């Protein structure tokens, strides 16, 4: 996927990001129903810090959260939501934390990958994954 492959607007660039995957925490019957409608269904969002917002919704440095991700291109780090395309930049994390831990996860995303790079994660629900094997210490 490239920015020009889609009629959706380009929303901008996001850094210090985290890909939150909630799919495994959904009720089994609900997940089966969604997968019957779309075999590739996944309940995912991305949070991060705004580098640039082409749609003028946020200022650089603001924290943001996408709506449900429709497509995540791991090679180009372009993500597509229902209405917008975003470019992820720099290292990021993937989290499978339970939704009730979501607020903590969002806070850790920005804290760990911005100015506080010396902190360590001991949380098995959250790992640094993009770029592969990046060390942030």
The model carries a pTM of 0.68
State how far the Cα of 76 lies from the Cα of 52, in Å rounded to an integer.
Answer: 17
Q: Which of these ranges, 2-6, 8-12, 25-29, 97-101, has the smallest mean pLDDT?
A: 2-6
pLDDT tens-digit series, residues 29-65: 888 888 899 888 888 889 889 999 988 888 898 888 8
- As a whole number of angstroms, the distance between CA 110 and CA 42 comes to 23
Task: Assess contact for 77 and 69: CB atoms under 8 A.
Answer: no
71-119 pLDDT, tens digit per residue, is: 999 899 999 998 999 999 988 888 887 655 555 555 544 444 433 344 3
Question: What does the alpha-carbon distance between residue 41 and residue 35 come to, in Å, rounded to a whole number?
Answer: 6
pLDDT for position 43: 83
Phi, psi of 101, deg, nearest 5: -95, 5
Report the alpha-carbon distance of residue 81 to residue 102 in Å, rounded.
19
Q: Which residues of 69-88 are buried (b: 16+ CB within 10 A; e: fewer)?
A: bbebeeeebbbbbeebbbbb
């Amino acid at each position: 996927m490239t920015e020009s492959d889609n009629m959706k607007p380009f929303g901008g660039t996001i850094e210090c990001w985290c890909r939150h995957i909630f799919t495994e925490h959904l009720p089994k019957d609900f997940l089966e129903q969604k997968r019957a409608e779309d075999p590739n269904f996944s309940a995912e969002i991305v949070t991060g810090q705004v580098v640039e917002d082409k749609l003028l919704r946020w200022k650089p440095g603001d924290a943001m959260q996408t709506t449900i991700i429709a497509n995540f291109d791991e090679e180009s780090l372009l993500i597509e939501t229902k209405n917008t395309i975003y470019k992820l930049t720099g290292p990021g994390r993937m989290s499978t934390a339970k939704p009730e831990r979501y607020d903590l996860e969002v806070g850790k995303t920005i804290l760990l990958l911005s100015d506080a790079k010396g902190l360590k994660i001991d949380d098995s629900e959250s790992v640094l994954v993009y770029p592969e094997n990046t060390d942030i210490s």
